[in-house]
Amino acid sequence: MTDWTEKYRPSTLSEVRGNNKARDKLKEWAETWEDHRKAAIVHGSPGVGKTSAAHALANDMGWPVMELNASDSRTGDVVEHIAGEAAQSGTLTAGESGRRLLILDEADNFHGNADYGGSRAVTGVVKEADQPIVLVANEFYDMSDSLRSACEEIEFRDVSSRSIVPVLRDICRQEGVEYEDDALDAIADNTSGDLRSAINDLQALAEETERLTEDDVVTGARDETEGIFDFLDDLIKNLDAQDALYASYDVDETPDDMINWIEDNMPKDYHGAELADAYGFLANADRWLGRVRATQDYSYWRYAGDNMTAGVAAARKESKGGWTRYGPPSYWSKLGRTSATRKQRDRIAREIAERSGTSIGTARREILPFLATMTHHCKNRELTVAMAAAYDLDESDVSFITGSGETTNKVQSVVEDARERRDEAIEHNAGGAFEGAVRDAIDGATEGDSDDGDADNTGGPNPTNGDEVDDAADPAASEDQSGLDDFM
């Protein structure tokens, strides 16, 4: 059966449901492109119609489309070759107006040097393009400041239930599906503003019943939730290796999620040698998942699945019985609680990476901990001011790195002095003087440490020697910097 999300994709902007303001803003951007010649960033939650709206706009404007997905082509050379060429004018593939639309999907997946120049290349293409460009992203602030400032922002919000229901009703009528109104309301409510998921759920349910009722929707949702728990019970207690692998094919979980479910619940029934063997198989699965992430070759998923299902089942030494209370992975709840902290950490790391010419990973793993130790509680005030000036940090950022309170006079005075220093540097066209100031302050601090052993400035071994910073040397630092240390 044809995928209904593709079959009923809107062909014009007038058919895009919900997000009327964003839709009108996107149309205005296209109609006035010759005046501003800026790219547009269309961002919002998955499934709200961002990419569909971009294609519908192209149809309305008579623009041919060239689409590039960040997950498929991530290096700077590929982006510059494909996107750069597509963004130039005067080609035979342009539409009647002499224009064509370049759509860069998943644009928030470009992360500076981590993608070997992908983000920088996209920014260059956007600034130099002679054709309209739409960048589609889920997370607006995961994109670099320079890229965001070069584009016009258009936010698509979650689609309301009252906008989803008419879409589902129209599809039912065209597909000849009988339904109860309450059933469509339930689908719309269950999908939390994700129109694409609502259509997928409707198609899945319509294939299983002649008349769609509210009970069908509730039962379908309950079966999906219980599926993983039934699988865990069979995997851990009953099935042999082959049957466990086959059973995993019927569970609606990706390998990345499946391994978290198994890892958290397996120790509730496995013990001793069998637990050690099972963890060995999970470690193998995790390595294969890492290879998937590194290469984007999803054929490796099969090897991860073999280890986390057949391997774990084979590790069982004795039969299991009784009832066990399984639960969702604790890792997920931790991610939810710390989402804001991790976003701030990554944003600061991105600023450091862009100004230092290093990767975001290096900035996060090596530079941030180094700065956190050297500026702990702003004790080395000169270095803290130099750091805030070099990376244009605000009170929240300085508080995050140093562990000092955001509203304290100490942090606020540091930020004020840093801003004055930046203004003076701009007036005197100082260029890279801030980075030099940071290095000078660090050199002075480390020299002082080697002379008098002041542990307050370093908190451990001399970082300039390439040693690991020992948080245990300064218990206060470990306690006060919980926003940073948890995620290094």
Q: Where are the domains of the chain?
A: 4-155, 161-212, 225-336, 339-485
pLDDT score, position 79:
55
Look at strands 178-179 and 211-212 and give their pairing. parallel
pLDDT score, position 88:
58
pLDDT score, position 218:
67
Q: Which CATH class is domain 4-155?
A: alpha beta
Length of the chain: 488
Residues of the chain with pLDDT under 50: 72-76, 90-95, 111-117, 222-226, 430-431, 449-488
pLDDT score, position 262:
94
Q: How many CB atoms lie within 10 A of CB 363?
A: 26
pLDDT score, position 463:
42
**Which residue bears the tokens 């604790």?**
330
pTM: 0.47
pLDDT score, position 281:
96
pLDDT score, position 156:
93
- What is the second-level CATH architecture of the domain 161-212? Orthogonal Bundle (1.10)
**428-474 pLDDT tens trace:** 654 455 555 555 665 655 555 444 444 444 334 344 344 444 444 44
**SS3 readout for the chain:** CCCHHHHCCCCCHHHCCCCHHHHHHHHHHHHCHHHHCCEEEEECCCCCCHHHHHHHHHHHHCCCEEEEECCCCCCHHHHHHHHHHHCCCCCCCCCCCCCCEEEEECHHHCCHHHHCCHHHHHHHHHHHCCCCEEEEECCHHHCCHHHHHCEEEEECCCCCHHHHHHHHHHHHHHHCCEECHHHHHHHHHHCCCCHHHHHHHHHHHHCCCCEECHHHHHHHHHHHHHHHHHHHHHHHHCCCHHHHHHHHCCCCCCHHHHHHHHHHHHHHCCCHHHHHHHHHHHHHHHHHHHHHHHHCCHHHHHHHHHHHHHHHHHCCCCCCCCCCCCCCCHHHHHHHHCHHHHHHHHHHHHHHHHHHCCCHHHHHHHHHHHHHHHCHHHCCHHHHHHHHHHCCCCHHHHHHHHCCCCCCHHHHHHHHHHHHHHHHHHHCCCCCHHHHHHHHHHHHHHHHHHHHCCHHHHCCCCHHHCCCCCHHHCHHHHHHCHHHHCCC
**336-375 pLDDT tens trace:** 566 678 788 888 998 888 888 888 888 888 899 999 999 9
pLDDT score, position 475:
41
